Amino acid sequence: MGLNMLRGTGEAWYVPTIADPDTGPNASELTAGIKLGAGFNSINGLARQKSPINVPVLRNRVELQIAGPEQFQSVSVTVVEDDGDGVDAESIERQAILDTMVEGADGWLVLARYTQDPAAGAVLFIIKISVDDQEPVWDLGAAAELTNINLTPSTPLYKRELAAAV
């Protein structure tokens, strides 16, 4: 596999439900979600924070470590906003993000690194999330209007394959 640039090749979705997270979403579930790619500007906080536990023992000067609890970081997705008047497909997609990913919404964030139109067997990354809130970015510089959508994850980021439609 050659080098890859996410921009222009990747895609993201907000999917309301995935019946079997152990095998991953199927094509029907992905279609039931909304695409985020036309508004997706960045994502932060997907890495788990591990907290190893130090164990002192008499024989060793260096403390041994055992695996401890894992914690999630605060995850946020930044989306580009429209003025609400656009009628083209990408404007409608950007507005759908803000209308769907509202406080209290539960679902799955699905990310594709290598394709915008995945076929069965395509590698996807999924994480179960709840939307905490939307936070407009108040930057007065020469920049697009942005909104941070703050998420609370309830699973790690899993690598899965897209299953065929059922």
- Average pLDDT over the chain reads 90
Other Cβ atoms closer than 10 A to 54 = 10
Delimit the domains of the chain by residue range. Answer: 11-161
Strands (E), the chain: 11-15, 34-35, 40-44, 48-50, 53-55, 64-66, 70-72, 75-80, 106-112, 123-136, 146-153, 158-161
Q: What span, in angstroms and rounded, lies between the C-alpha atoms of 90 and 145?
A: 15
For the whole model, what pTM was predicted? Answer: 0.85
Q: Tell me, what's the pLDDT at 2?
A: 72
pLDDT surpassing 70 at residue 1: no
- CA dihedral of 159, 31, 146, 84, whole degrees rounded to 10: 180
Q: What span, in angstroms and rounded, lies between the C-alpha atoms of 131 and 126?
A: 15
pLDDT surpassing 90 at residue 72: no
Q: Tell me, what's the pLDDT at 48?
A: 80
**Nearest to 74, CA basis, from 137, 132, 34:** 132
Q: Tell me, what's the pLDDT at 79?
A: 95
Q: Tell me, what's the pLDDT at 121?
A: 92
Other Cβ atoms closer than 10 A to 150 = 18
pLDDT digits (tens, 9 = 90+) for 128-140: 999 999 999 998 8
DSSP letters for 101-112 = S-TT-EEEEEEE
Q: Tell me, what's the pLDDT at 166?
A: 60
Read off the tokens for 140: 């007065």
Least confident of 70-74, 86-90, 99-103, 119-123: 70-74
- So what's the architecture of 11-161 in CATH? Beta Barrel (2.40)
Task: Report the percent of the chain where pLDDT is more than 70.
Answer: 98
Residues 6+ away with beta carbon under 8 Å from 79: 36, 39, 40, 41, 94, 97, 98, 146, 147, 149
Q: Tell me, what's the pLDDT at 8?
A: 83
